[in-house]
Amino acid sequence: MNEGVGDLPPDLRVKQNLRAIEHCVVEDTAIADRKKERGQYCATDMDTYQNSSDVDRKPSHPGDRPIIIGGSDSEHAVNRQPPISSRKQAFVPDEKILGEPREPEEIRLPLDYTRIDILLMKNIAPAISPPSGIGDNKPGNQAVLDWVHDVELLAKPENVFWCDGSERERDYLLQEAMRQNVLIKLNEKKVPRSYLHRSNPNDVARVEQFTFICSPTKEEAGPTNNWSEPAETYSKLHELLKGAMCSRTLFVVPYIMGPPDSPLTKVGFEITDSIYVVLSMRIMTRMGEIAVKRLGNDPAAEWNRGVHSLLDVDPARRFICHFPQDNTIISVGSGYGGNVLLSKKCLALRIGSYLARKQGWMAEHMLILGVESPEGKKHYVAAAFPSACGKTNFAMLIPPQHFAGWKVTTVGDDIAWMQIRDGRLFAVNPENGYFGVVPGTNYKSNPNAMKSIEHDSLYTNVALTDDGDVWWEGKDGSPPKHAIDWRGNDWTPDSKEKAAHPNSRFTAPCRNNPVLDPDFEIGDGVPISAIIFGGRRSGTLPLVFQSFDWEHGVYLGATMASETTAAATGAVGQVRRDPMAMLPFCGYNIGDYFRHWVDTGKRLTNPPLIFKVNWFRKGKSGKFLWPGFGDNMRVLKWIIDRCEGSDGALKSPIGWLPGLHDLDLAELEIDHHCVDELLEIDHEDWKKELAEHKKFFDSLGGVVPEELLKQREELAERFKE
Ligand code: GTP
Ligand code: SPV
Ligand code: MN
């Protein structure tokens, strides 16, 4: 479709665009007319919309045909599904979901939604016309070609752009992104080769309430996920995608997740109409030719299908849907990172966790770091903290002066894929870039992150200074006298609004990180000595403790809780259970996920030790008791000592705690009473905590493995001793 487009003179192209819009409008009016005939067009709620999309599958265009943009290797065929008519549930979140309940108005569609969308949409992502030699590198795999063709027939883009990952392609796309104001070039001297992007103010974080696991049965999605029936959901999404890329370019982004030579590595293709997504995927993944080559020409090879369209960036039409059995993701209505960089949370965690259980490995929301002693002894540690709870910072930690000679290196900052080899767990980071929280990042808190984002980075939703630099709350130095805030408005230090959004993000290549681990790309992964679970808890949870064994460690992960953050829409600061930091990311039944953890332990002859940490405990004054950041090295050192067999620990009902002299606090200015408070186990608090564990397990409706129920009882018993 792309051939020759770039050769058309500009005026002709405009006409072509208009024709395309007219064509879509006419077509959609025809559908509307048919709906009117059937008396289906006047009502606006989701139910009626559901009905109309079910019956209106008859092609309205000769080239059109009813399609399911799912995988050809679907497991659905072997799962008998109840009839669609018996499922009225789609897009209505389960009552048990631990998120914001959906307001009924939010799922209402405007009367003439197709028409309004097309008019609104046409300026969001106008088609581009690449010169020949750019965007025309079609892969040879017929399964990919067929799938792209199907999406093309449905979404009716102006043209198709096949990404190859070349530098020429990048330079061209950057020019186009700037021309369309999708990116703003930053001051070349201050932040070379870097750009600012502003997302729609209604679209600045992950949307857990609009995220669905569309497995054949609700039970497979389990009690913690929003579930929606697959066939019905495809049909709704197809309705939304019909003509959605009219007068836009459909980009096909091939990518791999995982090091190039790893047996764990997966191939994905993301279709998107967002040039920002393409440019971000270039940083976040290994993108282009490398993926096409790895997939090869076998039409039956395993690969992930991802379809993303901005639509009109309206929260009422924002759905992030996963079809684990089809290895398929469809995301519509958003342009924000976690919702649209389908490689990350959607593939590497939600679909990844599903595949991992089936294939006997683990996909976890964990950083991976290396820690090397002055004597050259090295350990690797994986740590699961919920979103915006310190993974990137911990992964790039610089030890304080007192730990001269100790080195911390980053393998990954967000996701770990782990497999068993020789009875041990080995981890790879499937990503190739960092999508990190900006506010609070400075040369004191995280110098390595600052160095990683000094050049070749994309910034989303930070402030723009008058000299073309970026600024955010918590950046070094004094605030600028004037800036343009993340919404594009004037900002001064007197402004009530924040200059940068609390969930503003940087996108930077891993290669920028000065402490990138030399084994970052090792295909077999790095051996994991310790697993750490951590959350944001102002009370109850001590700074650090160690589980008695694997199963007790799994219990510590399963009962984790943390205060919610700006990484997802909804209330911030509310404590919720977030097992293994995977609540929003586990692509199947959480009970089966716990079972997978327990069973994995049984296969490990040399399992990692398991720890729990809390950098965020507060004192009576309401201030953090622990300095955090680089000083977390002191906790990490105790963990490494334990891995080395040190006996410096005291037994407590909740696990092994460091004694006062087991933590190296030398040269740290901290009151002794703070340290006491940090390590305190308050029996009254723990009584409440235990009751919360029970409440959480009970809320899961009988899916929790026996082993973990037993752990809870044993914990309660230990408090009685
Ligand atoms: P995601 O990218 O959303 O998964 O977040 P993350 O887990 O990587 O969190 P990140 O390291 O970006 O930190 C999030 C916020 O927590 C930032 O504002 C940090 O400044 C703050 N933070 C990180 N580590 C510490 C710490 O040790 N102590 C304190 N008090 N704050 C921290
Ligand atoms: C998180 O929220 O855990 C993130 C950011 O890492 S996002 O990619 O938006 O999910
Ligand atoms: Mn994350």
Q: Which two tokens stand for residue 149?
A: 């063709």
For the CA of 565, the closest atom of ligand 1 is 3
Is it the case that residue 568 has pLDDT exceeding 50? yes
Q: Which of 422, 431, 610, 408 is nearest to 524 (CA)?
A: 422
Give residue 475 CA to ligand 1 midpoint distance, Å: 14
Residue 12 — very low, low, confident or very high, per pLDDT cuts 50/70/90?
very low
* pLDDT per position as a tens digit, 542-563: 999 999 999 999 999 999 999 9
* pLDDT per position as a tens digit, 443-491: 999 999 999 999 999 999 999 999 999 999 999 999 999 999 999 999 9
In sequence order, what DSSP letters do the residues of 438-460 get, joined into one string?
-TT--TTT-HHHHHHTSSS-EEE
Is the CB of 589 within 6 Å of ligand 2?
Answer: no
> Distance between CA 586 and CA 351 in Å, rounded?
8
Whose structure tokens read 């027939």? 153
pLDDT at 63: 36
Is the CB of 627 within 6 Å of ligand 1?
Answer: no
Nearest protein CA to atom 4 of ligand 1, as residue:
387
Is it the case that residue 412 has pLDDT exceeding 90? yes
pLDDT at 36: 39
Residues 6+ apart with CB under 8 A from 26: none
pLDDT at 197: 98
* pLDDT per position as a tens digit, 481-498: 999 999 999 999 999 999
Give residue 387 CA to ligand 3 midpoint distance, Å: 5
Residue 106 — very low, low, confident or very high, per pLDDT cuts 50/70/90?
very low
Is the CB of 435 within 6 Å of ligand 2?
Answer: yes
pLDDT at 56: 24
Is it the case that residue 302 has pLDDT exceeding 60? yes
Closest ligand by atom to 341 CA: 2
Give residue 707 CA to ligand 2 midpoint distance, Å: 31
Catalytic site positions: 389
Is it the case that residue 96 has pLDDT exceeding 70? no
**Segment 283-301 mean pLDDT:** 97
Task: Tell me the pTM.
Answer: 0.87
Q: Which of 437, 445, 439 is nearest to 479 (CA)?
A: 439
Is it the case that residue 643 has pLDDT exceeding 90? yes
> Distance between CA 200 and CA 486 in Å, rounded?
10
Is it the case that residue 569 has pLDDT exceeding 60? yes
pLDDT at 721: 84
Closest ligand by atom to 383 CA: 1
* pLDDT per position as a tens digit, 136-165: 999 999 999 999 999 999 999 999 999 999
- Per the prediction, the chain carries an average pLDDT of 87
**Segment 232-257 mean pLDDT:** 97
Q: Which of 147, 124, 153 is nearest to 1 (CA)?
A: 153
In sequence order, what DSSP letters do the residues of 19-40 get, joined into one string?
HHHHHHHHHHHHHHHHHHHTT-
Is it the case that residue 685 has pLDDT exceeding 60? yes
pLDDT at 698: 98
pLDDT at 76: 53
Is it the case that residue 272 has pLDDT exceeding 90? yes
Cross-strand partners of 433: 509
What's the DSSP call for residue 58? S
> Distance between CA 407 and CA 15 in Å, rounded?
61
Percent of the chain with pLDDT over 90: 82
Q: Which two tokens stand for residue 301?
A: 């090879």
Closest ligand by atom to 536 CA: 1
Give first-to-last CA distance, the chain, whole Å.
74
pLDDT at 73: 58
* pLDDT per position as a tens digit, 25-84: 333 343 334 333 333 322 222 222 222 222 222 323 333 333 456 655 566 544 433 333
Is it the case that residue 677 has pLDDT exceeding 80? yes
Residue 659 — very low, low, confident or very high, per pLDDT cuts 50/70/90?
very high
Is the CB of 436 within 6 Å of ligand 2?
Answer: no
Is it the case that residue 24 has pLDDT exceeding 70? no
Is it the case that residue 634 has pLDDT exceeding 80? yes
Strands 458-460 and 195-197: parallel
